[in-house]
Chain A
């Protein structure tokens, strides 16, 4: 790549004034001091507006009768680049597959959202959530019950036909 030079003109040190520029700066800070406008977001009272495509912690969709929608097909643990999903599938009397164990280690998860993208029955989702603090590390492995209890909105998938999600 070609080298470009940028010439910065410096004022002649023999003609610049420290006091004048310092006073100018003080006038500027005074204007800001007296201006009641602030840019602080009062966090616990004011929540951030999240993008509809924000990818936070997961949630599992449930049927009306309370069963998880997951059919234990095994696609999400396969596609997961961080290998954070543990799935043990089972089959009931009617031959319906269901997850016996479904655990997501949220510490390993990189929140790429591929599990949501790959899910054939729209069961696992990443969601619009960021308040995830816990007292122990163990609590960050979300089991099936925890995933089903999560109730935040789910993330919108990126649509190639509508790249800006409008």
Chain B
């Protein structure tokens, strides 16, 4: 029986370095294979085959892509601002990779030197760190687009900044409900709270999850919000002038943002590495690794095991992969919004909905606390309230209001009194 003590001293340093190296490798591999998944799934959706020439089933395609981008010529436009042109892709990529540091990815791992937390840096500011870094990513896009000295790149960068600012607000507000329920900003604590209440936050905070997911799509510049790229309008937007590895770095940044957003959705709303049942629960409570509390409130010691770590990591990977596939699936289904529709959705739909939802959740928690409801009944009541909010959101707001865009007011004014459906006349000669 190994002693259940947190790892300290030199082994802590070694294990942290090892975790960073391994997670960086896993992340880069996952990003590479996310590009393959993107191409394969888009192919399947369009009844095509997808890449199938490099390796069995095209599985070596990402390596071929990477090698090709490494040996290609780096073209820097003559009129570009060279320093910032170089800085852009770096600033896009680094924050995208750094965000992953605070996401717990498995149950604690017991080793002969102590128990290792399966998180790179369990910083006390958790979600604040993620919010700060993920909005830093837009600077890479803006600097890259501006330094290119290209009107399309500039327009893409301009759109990126406006879109980020708009959706950051709704993203933050939809996170607020999670923080209220968990009572803490560290992600380990949020996972622990979900384990303790035997309820993943997606149920008591269903509308929060929907708002977070929509905002996350906008934050990662994925369709239907890929305004900064918008191939058909802006060539490829902010990275029009980029080639070879710098272009690749923008791509890595986009996919690692996707990966982080997927992992966040899994962690905040789907229990993170938690699997159903309390056998895998583990949390550092006053220096002890515990699994929960018994009826008298005394802590029950957890028993970490290697197989538990592996199994919970698999659970985390499956949840993250699900959202990654969802990202790709949505991208190849839904067409791009118009720019005014993006702004309208962000400011006139998402922001008020998120604000109202925060008020509703706060009020419900307050009332439940005053009445003295706790435990499972607490979660179920909140689930009911959230379900009502979701139904209201979908059935009341989603009546042409989500994508009406800037022309909405004018159209409503001009068609007032006319009961006939709007008609458009096409002339043929």
By a beta-carbon cutoff of 8 Å, the part of chain A in contact with chain B is 1, 3-20, 22, 25-26, 28-30, 32-35, 37-40, 42
Contact = CB atoms under 8 A, between A and B. Distances in A.
Nearest to B332: A29
B404 A13 contact: yes
B404 A5 contact: no
Nearest to B44: A33
A17 B44 contact: no
Interface string B44-79: 111111000000000000000000000000000000
Given A9-B423, A33-B329, 16 more contacts: A1-B429, A4-B428, A5-B427, A8-B423, A8-B424, A10-B423, A12-B400, A13-B411, A13-B422, A14-B399, A14-B400, A22-B334, A32-B47, A39-B47, A39-B48, A42-B49
Contacts of A8: 423-424, 426
B421 A3 contact: no
11 contacts: A3-B428, A5-B428, A7-B423, A10-B421, A11-B421, A12-B421, A13-B422, A15-B399, A19-B398, A33-B44, A34-B44
Given A6-B428, A19-B394, A20-B398, A35 B423 contact: no
A106 to B, nearest CB: 29
A18 B349 CA distance: 13
A13 B400 contact: yes
Interface string B398-429: 11101110001001100000000111111111
Contacts of B422: 10, 12-13
Nearest to A44: B53
B333 interface: yes
Contacts of A32: 44-47
A26 B49 CA distance: 20
Nearest to B335: A25
A120 B425 CA distance: 59
A47 to B, nearest CB: 17
B264 to A, nearest CB: 22
A82 to B, nearest CB: 36
A7 B333 contact: no
B310 interface: no
Interface in B10-55: 41, 44-49
A6 B47 contact: no
Interface in B359-403: 394, 398-400, 402-403
Interface residues of B, number: 31
Interface of B: 41, 44-49, 329-330, 332-334, 394, 398-400, 402-404, 408, 411-412, 421-429
Contacts of B46: 32
B56 to A, nearest CB: 15
Given A14-B400, A18-B398, A29-B332, A9 B421 contact: yes
Contacts of A34: 44
Contacts of B41: 33
Contacts of B408: 13
A17 B393 CA distance: 12
Nearest to B428: A4
B398 A15 contact: no
Contacts of B332: 29
A25 B422 CA distance: 24
A37 B423 contact: no
B388 to A, nearest CB: 17
Contacts of B45: 29, 32-33
Contacts of A29: 45, 329, 332-333
Nearest to B422: A10
Contacts of B48: 38-40
Contacts of A28: 333
Contacts of B329: 26, 29-30, 33
Contact of A3 (B49, B334, B429): B429
A40 B399 contact: no
A23 B398 CA distance: 13
The 8 A-B pairs with the shortest beta carbon distances in the complex, nearest first, are A13-B400, A18-B402, A29-B333, A40-B49, A33-B44, A29-B45, A25-B333, A19-B398
Given A26-B333, A29-B333, A32-B44, A7 B399 contact: no
Contacts of B398: 17-20
B334 A16 contact: no
Contacts of B428: 3-6
A4 B428 CA distance: 6
A15 B419 CA distance: 13
Nearest to B330: A26
A32 B399 CA distance: 28
A48 to B, nearest CB: 17
A35 B47 contact: yes
Which of A30, A39, A40 lies at the interface centre, i.e. has the most chain B CB atoms within 10 A of its CB? Answer: A40
A23 to B, nearest CB: 9
B406 to A, nearest CB: 13
Contacts of A12: 400, 421-422
B426 A6 contact: yes
A19 to B, nearest CB: 5
A131 B149 CA distance: 43
A119 B5 CA distance: 95
B425 A7 contact: yes
B393 to A, nearest CB: 9
A32 B263 CA distance: 27
A108 B334 CA distance: 46
